[in-house]
């Protein structure tokens, strides 16, 4: 009975919300024009005629995520950053074990995975570098690259991270470099302002009504959309190695972790 | 002329893929134990996806209206088909191997199990 009440309330709420957003808004009963906002974003995402408002990126989602509503994404990145800090805090004092002879899956799976990993890296880099042109971007590319860490842990065993040259501290360092790169891009206009005296704002991308500062839009006729490519590449680095850290920690055997944490936590 | 032939070969591969998918689905429903059902599932994931992807690649290569983009589309499809061709068997191999090693599924009757004999159990 309880299940049916929950189900019924979900269906009712969904249909009422759908009715409000489609019909009531269309005939102007609710004073909330969400379509207008969408039209505005779509018109301005790539619009060389409106230089003071556009992002010059044909990918509307990336424009919204990194420019129109940039603060949202910085906040999301910070949440992700904090989550990894929490994971590291829980696992503090756990050293990654040095190489042991662990077997992993059969040779067939290993060979196929070795063929797959270069393809995976190529796809991840292309998704990140085309983030301002095609769907995708830094976070998606980072998640695609982080698949490699799961493949390594499952197919080749957790000791294979050391063999391919990824250690926990290196992954943390690379992730921090990515986050610092995001912060650097954010602060470039401010530094520019301090050095030259030209009016420029935090997180600014292109010229504004009272500011002449602008990031380069093209590199040798290749569209790079100002800050977007730098944000995407930096986020790619931060997210991929952030996930690497988490998956490396999760791939540790429980008895190894307990053994190392043993005395401190009294298990 | 050659475009027409390539297009028909592509369409034939699509039809072949549909047929293999149907066979795989019937097998998945009808077969009795885990290993046989895994075989049927692999038939439809490999045969039923590899051939249609190649067929679509041939069709996009022969569609002149797409301009240069047809090579982009067709090339992606060929790469996807190749990746699938090597990945799906590896996945089903890993499944079958893990099942055999952990003895989760013991099919009845077993006529010969050379892997078990080699392990000497």
Contact assignment for A106 to B86 by CB distance below 8 Å: no
Under 8 Å between Cβ of A56 and A74: no
Structure tokens at A261: 């944490």
Give the residue with greater pLDDT, B15 vs A221. Answer: B15
Contact of B86 with chain A, judged by CB distance below 8 Å, is answered with yes
Contact assignment for A116 to B83 by CB distance below 8 Å: yes
Cα A75 to Cα A79: distance, rounded to the nearest angstrom: 6
Per-residue confidence at A204, pLDDT binned at 50, 70, 90? confident
Query: Which chain B residue's Cα is nearest to A116?
Result: B83
DSSP H/E element including A260: helix A254-265
Cα A194 to Cα A215: distance, rounded to the nearest angstrom: 16
pLDDT at B51: 93
Q: Phi first, then psi: give them for residue A139, nearest 5 degrees.
A: -65, -45
Residue A218, SS3 per DSSP: strand
Contact of B26 with chain A, judged by CB distance below 8 Å, is answered with no
Rg (CA), chain A: 24
Residues of B in contact with A106 (CB under 8 A): 93-94, 97
A16-71: per-residue pLDDT in tens? 988 877 777 666 666 666 678 788 888 888 888 888 888 888 888 888 888 888 78
Residues of B in contact with A122 (CB under 8 A): none
Topology given in CATH for the domain delimited by B2-119: Helix Hairpins (1.10.287)
CB pairs under 8 A between A and B: 21
A141-162: per-residue pLDDT in tens? 999 999 999 999 888 887 788 8
Single out the residue of A235, A258, A244, A267 nearest to residue A87, CA to CA.
Answer: A244
Q: Provide the β-strand partners of residue A218.
A: A223
Under 8 Å between Cβ of A44 and A53: yes
Q: Whole-model pTM?
A: 0.80
Domain ranges of chain A: 65-265
Contact of A119 with chain B, judged by CB distance below 8 Å, is answered with yes
Distance from CA of A109 to the nearest CA of B (A): 5
Domain ranges of chain B: 2-119
């Amino acid at each position: 009975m309880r299940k049916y009440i929950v189900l019924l309330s979900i269906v009712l709420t969904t249909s009422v919300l759908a009715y409000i957003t489609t019909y009531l808004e269309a005939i102007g009963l609710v004073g909330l024009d969400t379509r207008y906002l969408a039209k505005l974003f779509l018109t301005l995402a790539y619009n060389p005629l409106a230089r003071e408002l556009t992002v010059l990126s044909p990918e509307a989602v990336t424009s919204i995520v990194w420019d129109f509503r940039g603060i949202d994404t910085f906040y999301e990145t910070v949440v992700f950053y904090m989550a990894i800090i929490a994971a590291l805090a829980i696992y503090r004092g756990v050293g990654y074990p040095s190489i042991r002879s662990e077997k992993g899956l059969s040779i067939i799976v290993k060979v196929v995975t070795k063929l797959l990993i270069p393809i995976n890296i190529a796809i991840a880099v292309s998704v990140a570098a085309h983030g301002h042109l095609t769907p995708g971007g830094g976070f998606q590319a980072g998640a695609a690259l982080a698949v490699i860490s799961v493949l390594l842990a499952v197919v080749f065993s957790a000791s294979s991270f050391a063999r391919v040259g990824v250690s926990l501290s290196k992954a943390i360092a690379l992730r921090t470099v990515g986050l610092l790169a995001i912060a650097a891009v954010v602060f470039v206009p401010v530094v520019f302002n301090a050095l030259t005296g030209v009016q420029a704002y935090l997180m600014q991308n292109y010229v504004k009504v009272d500011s002449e500062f602008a990031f380069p839009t093209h590199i040798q006729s290749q569209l790079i959309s100002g800050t977007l490519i730098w944000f995407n590449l930096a986020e790619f680095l931060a997210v991929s190695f952030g996930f690497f850290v988490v998956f490396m920690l999760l791939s540790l055997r429980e008895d190894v972790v307990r053994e190392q944490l043993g005395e401190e936590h009294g298990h | 002329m050659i475009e027409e032939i390539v297009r028909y070969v592509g369409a034939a591969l699509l039809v072949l893929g549909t047929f293999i998918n149907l066979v795989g689905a019937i097998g998945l429903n009808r077969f009795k134990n885990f290993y046989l059902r895994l075989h049927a599932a692999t038939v439809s994931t490999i045969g039923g996806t590899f051939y249609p992807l190649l067929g679509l690649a041939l069709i996009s290569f022969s569609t002149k209206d797409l301009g240069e983009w047809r090579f982009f589309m067709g090339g992606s499809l060929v790469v996807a088909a190749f990746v699938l061709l090597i990945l799906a068997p590896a996945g089903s191999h890993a499944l079958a191997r893990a099942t055999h090693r952990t003895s989760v599924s013991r099919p009845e009757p077993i006529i010969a199990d050379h892997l078990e004999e080699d392990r000497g159990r």
